[in-house]
Structure 1
Amino acid sequence: MSIDIPTTPRGSLYSALSRQVKQAGLLDRRPGYYAAQIALVLTLVVAGVTALLVIGDSWWQLLVAAFFAMLSTQLGFLGHDAGHRQIFRSTRRNYRLGVALANLGVGFSYGWWVDKHNRHHAHPNDEDKDPDVGVGALIFTTRQARASGRIARRFYRYQAWTFFPLLLLEAINLRVSSLRYLLAGRDRSRSREALMIGLHVAAYLTAVFVVLPPGKALAFVAIHQALFGLYLGCSFAPNHKGMPPLSATDSADYLRRQVLTSRNVRGNWLTDFVLGGLNYQIEHHLFPSMPRGNLRRAQRLVKEFCADQHVSYLETGLFSSYAQALRHLDTIGRATAPSG
């Protein structure tokens, strides 16, 4: 299973940009880069497990739980790259790696995530087709605000304040959504995914509850899962929230649809690592199969091309991106307040 995004007809703006990117070799696979990335993350996993076993019965384990939250997110980033076929040319090899990383390594369904992420990439910020801006714990458009019920409106009115606290529950949401997806089908791949998640849960809980007494073990699990959800959510939040919503009726071509709905976060190599390359959201949406290690180089080409074509290209700081997203959530939340 992989993420495939349709392109526009030959001769379009996107085709012209794509030719430049291909000529620069930026769509070529980076086996050495990903070998180093995977080796680094696996080394950190070994270090985390070793710390858990060596420290033993101590409240210092809560720091290890926070370290595990970072590990879970970094494994998720690699699974994201596998889903976009950035790592291997073979769809099957990317799928196998993705399942190993997501299901066995983190404990959520790779198949569910790819299905959801497919729709997001194909229809970014389309409230009817993009699952990431559908009505749920948050709303993102005035139409959603007008359609919400009386009780929901009271909650949505303060959604900018509840955004970060809600991210602490994101790990639970991932697992509940994964379970629903796996139970909805009976094919062999879903059964294998369910088995891998079961192995993850069994190994994880056994290790934690064998090393720690029940109270500390529960605190470890709570800290790990809450910070994992927060870190993951904070990595994805800057990408599209607060950017213009588009629908199928809008006349924007593929290039404009992807660029105008995405926001980049400026930074350095540390930002690239912490955000898993998602800070180059514009380049990633234009070329989802581009290896993460090439995104920084591609940015210069894309940015210059957009300037030449008078296409708005938004890049901002990390904290500024959160401020923009929160202002948008607050504006939409206030639209639920009764008039007069």
Structure 2
Amino acid sequence: MGPIRTTTPKAGRGAAPGVNLFTELAAQVHRSGLMRRRYGYYWSKIAVLFLALVGAVWAFVWIGDTWWQLFTAVVLAVLFAQAAFLGHDAAHRQIFVSGRWNNWMSLVIGDLMVGMSYGWWQHKHTRHHANPNKLGSDPDIELPVIAVTAETAQHEHGPLVAWLRAHQGILFFPILLLEGVSLHASSVRRVLSRGHLEHRAVEIIFLSVRLGGFIALVFIVLSPGIAATFLAVQLGIFGFHLGIAFAPNHKGMPIVPRTMKIDFLRRQVMMSRNIRGNRVLDFFMGGLNYQIEHHLFPSMPRPHLRRAAPLIASYCRQVGVPYTQTGLLEGYAIVVRYINRVGLGERDVFTCPLIEQRTHLTATTYDTPPAAE
């Protein structure tokens, strides 16, 4: 398909207050066919991933008790991370039209294959998508160890957390090695806690089979020392893989004050960052390098994000909405510099362009448009 031409008038920064900038963009995206399902792509991906996991587990049992199994641990870690990306797609209704099919695919992939609670993740991730980088609303900027906002950094905490935050710029990537353990622990804690969880019984069974069964298999095949090292490597690489895919998406982008109201297009575009790259990068980041497109159209199938990016970037230029895109290493450097400044206690760590436009943006209250997926 050739380049998609836009027909939106050049509204620029002087667009009339109250104009819903997202409506025309959504119409263009739908007309381009970028929201249609990609069943062949997803069924192929599911089949290949399933066969790869079965093959990796078979190889693990066949290789037996040897330190060479640490290479198997790395392979399994990457496969589990890729499964998590696929579960993320299903949770966003990217795979099937049917919500029920997507829900069950998310449960099977998330709980049974990855060991991460779909119900816990869905609640948390939905809040993030609704208000990215907004104080008091986005759980992804309220982390237990790393402070990503000046407000969080100023809270009272113990000496260990204080030390970690003072050095969090240096420790950021090593801390990501613990992300896998954190995801599993949060999932187990959520399914065992009180409160509404739609598929609690199913999630408890799936998580028990995945986590308990996997650990049992590792200690049956391997001697205790090798088994413990195997699990440490697998969990570390798994968490690191997911962490480096999510890290550059929003951290170091503007933080939205609690009381500020922003129209949907600006809310999603100005708080997100894309990472330039090729299809290999698309694979290893699970398509999350197109974070702006994903936030604007969460149910857009992953293979369409690359095609949608030029259209959306062009539209944003026309209407005067900053569209941020960097290289991979540059993105990580921005994140590390930012959280380092936060950890050292700087209050004004980012000159937010939203504050500069506050008069214009708060002149009218904007509502989130109905789902256009």
TM range, smaller chain: over 0.9
Residue 208 (structure 1) aligned to one of 214, 218, 235? 218
CA distance in 1, matches of 2:241, 2:111: 18
- C-alpha deviations, 1:182-228, integer Å up to 9, x for none? 12237661121011100112321232222211211111111101111
In the alignment, the residues of structure 2 paired with residue 78 and residue 15 of structure 1 have an alpha-carbon distance, to the nearest angstrom, of: 28
- How far off is 1:180 after superposition? 2.2
**What is the CA–CA distance in structure 2 between the aligned matches of 1:137 and 1:86, rounded to whole Å?**
32
Residue matched to 1:4: none
In 2: Cα distance, 1:124 partner to 1:60 partner: 42
More displaced, 274-283 or 11-20? 11-20
- The answer to whether residue 263 in structure 2 is matched with residue 263 in structure 1 is no
Matching residue of 2:259: 249
Within 2, Cα distance between the matches of 1:253 and 1:187?
A: 31
Q: 1:187 to 1:69 in 2, by over 3 A?
A: closer
Q: TM-score, normalised by structure 1?
A: 0.92
- Unpaired segments of 5 or more residues in structure 1? 1-9
Shift of 1:11: 5.6
Maintained 8 Å contact 1:284/1:295? yes
Structure 1 distance, partners of 2:24, 2:222, is 58
Alignment size in residue pairs: 329
Q: Does the Cα contact within 8 Å between 1:14 and 1:254 map onto a contact in 2? A: yes
Higher mean C-alpha displacement, 276-285 vs 51-60: 51-60
After TM superposition, list the pairs within 5 Å mapping 1:178-327 onto structure 2: 178-182=187-191, 183-185=193-195, 189-327=199-337
User: In structure 2, do the counterparts of structure 1 residues 286 and 221 end up closer, same or farther at CA, with 3 Å as the change threshold?
Assistant: same
Q: How does 1:1-340 map to 2 (within 5 A)?
A: 12-149=20-157, 151=159, 152-182=161-191, 183-185=193-195, 189-335=199-345
Deviates more, 1:281-290 or 1:179-188: 179-188
Q: Deviations over 1:221-263 (max 9, x none)?
A: 1110111111111110010010001135224211011001000
The match for 2:4 is none
Higher helix share: 1
Aligned-partner Cα distance in 2 for 1:105–1:49: 12
How large is the Cα RMSD of the aligned pairs? 1.8
Gaps of 5+ in 2: 1-17, 348-373
Query: CA offsets per residue over residues 102-160 of structure 1, 9 Å max, x none?
Result: 11101121110001000000010012110000142011122222233473433311111
Question: With structure 2 as the length reference, what TM-score do the two structures score?
Answer: 0.85
- Given residue 55 of structure 1, which amino acid in structure 2 is its aligned partner? I
User: Matches of 2:157 and 2:224 in 1, distance apart?
Assistant: 41
